[in-house]
A and B are shown apart, each in its own frame.
With several copies, the nearest count.
Chain A
Amino acid sequence: MTTAALPIMPLAVVRGAPVDALPDDLYIPPDALRIFLEAFEGPLDLLLYLIKRQNLDIVDIPIARITEQYLGYIDMMSALKMELAAEYLVMAAWLAEIKSRLLLPRAPIQDDDEDDPRALLIKRLRMYEVMKNAAEGLNEWPRLERDIWLAQTDLPPMTLQPEPPTVELDMLLNAWQALLKRADQHRHHRIVQEPLSVRERMSLILERLHHVESVAFPLLFKLEEGRQGVLVTFLAILELSKEGLISIMQAEPLTMPMIAVAGKA
């Protein structure tokens, strides 16, 4: 074989060569060509079409022939001054490169060369074909709104009671800490913390006093709570008294002190 026999490559057209590369006897309405090309998802799709149309397997593709055909479409597009996505031109350049490699004597070609553009092209075409088929498969797969409908029923009358919000313990702590921090910033408003057991006891004592006139001081203590419990109660009584919530009364010295809600006795 000789390179001398080769005709002028249509590649030149891609590089902006004259329009007369378009055969005279070929007439395709520009709109038809545009619509034709729009049916393809890109250069790989177009190449795949060119290969499939000739019942060829991807691994068998006669690069030169497919390249000719592909470039043929590109030429037509250019000739008709139609806008072409950049990807088509990149592919055209790539195909041209592969083809030019094939024209060289066998020497520089290594079959299992990863950089071999031809092997790479085959790989890409295969992958694209697999995914194109997968997309078609997915489109035919039964799906909601088209093939499958949810079974719907009417609901009987019912009363919906919204559930109350949930609160976590640490949300409470965070709120309290934020408050203390805020209060710290306003110096005048220092919040002093008592042991919570004391505050709890304060509430209990108040609640107890709520229903009676007054209670004898010792009756507020429960000996079975031990020393710690007695202490807590004692602190609670002192704090209640200090905050003016209860009054401690003693009729005369050495008599039993009585505890009553402030203002009640």
Chain B
Amino acid sequence: MTLESILEALLFAADQPLSAERLQALFPELEQPSVAEIDQALQQLMAFYQPRALQLKRVASGYRFQVKADYATWLSRLFAEKPPKYSKAVLETLAIIAYRQPVTRGDIEDIRGVAVSSTIIKTLLERDWIKSVGHKDAPGKPALYATTKHFLDYFNLQSLAELPALLQPAEPDDSVLAANFDNSREQDQKTIESAQEQTDNRNENTAIAHSDR
């Protein structure tokens, strides 16, 4: 056990910088090394750690081991705080924009039944999950929001059609599904022919779009 190794142990265990005098005082009275001897051992330690990821640094109140600044990027990953969770309001707003786009803030408020703060919209804009795709021709020209390509990438979706469908109360069996499919195809055909009817059929189309998935 050398003076150098004892100082090494002390400096690593300490949670604050230790001065040469403080280090000296930690030795039993009759075995105390001189401050000069301590300084010399500290120099050896400094030299030893010089090529490593840490350094023995001298600060105002003494000596302390410190991880070198070059490694700050890695350390920041280590200490990155656990991400908080989005509030229900944020999730609901995002869901409305995803499933009902393009929508204005007013539309979102109508569906949620409560005001939507600008913070929520800002959060989603900053995350690059939504964007404004235009303005509604209404008083105040409110922005129309839609989801972005980045939103699709984040959720690993090719297109919005891949968003999970609502859980149906009861799953229709395959044959029924196939029948509906064919029907709806014809219906679609008709719809194109007579745009007027389309609006009425909308519910059915929705169901088909979902079972298509």
Stretch of B19-27, B28-36, B37-45, B62-70 lying at the A interface = B62-70
Interface string of B40-79 (1 = CB under 8 A from A): 0000000000000010010000001111110111011001
Interfacial chain B residues near A149, Cβ < 8 Å: 12-13, 66-67, 75
On whether the beta carbons of B12 and A177 are closer than 8 Å, the reply is no
On whether the beta carbons of B113 and A43 are closer than 8 Å, the reply is yes
Interfacial chain A residues near B79, Cβ < 8 Å: 158, 160
Q: Could you say which of B177, B192, B198, B205 has the most chain A C-beta atoms within 10 Å of its C-beta? A: B192
B119: CB under 8 A from chain A?
Answer: no
On whether the beta carbons of B168 and A178 are closer than 8 Å, the reply is no
Interface string of A176-195 (1 = CB under 8 A from B): 11111011001001011111
What would be 20 A-B contacts, judged by CB atoms less than 8 Å apart?
A1-B189, A6-B195, A7-B195, A25-B203, A35-B213, A43-B114, A63-B188, A68-B198, A99-B192, A102-B192, A137-B95, A144-B156, A151-B54, A159-B76, A162-B84, A194-B202, A199-B102, A203-B146, A206-B134, A261-B134
Chain A interface residues toward B at CB < 8 A? 1, 5-7, 23, 25-26, 28, 32, 35-36, 39, 41-45, 49-50, 53, 57, 59-65, 68-69, 72, 76, 85, 87, 91, 99, 102-103, 111-112, 118-119, 122, 124, 126-139, 141-167, 169-173, 175-180, 182-183, 186, 189, 191-200, 202-204, 206-207, 209-210, 231, 234-235, 238, 242, 244-245, 261-264
Chain B interface residues toward A at CB < 8 A? 12-15, 54, 57, 64-69, 71-73, 75-76, 79-86, 88-89, 91-92, 94-96, 98-102, 110-115, 127, 133-138, 141, 144, 146-147, 153-156, 159-161, 163-164, 166-168, 170, 172, 174, 176-178, 180-185, 187-193, 195-196, 198-199, 201-203, 205-206, 208-210, 212-213
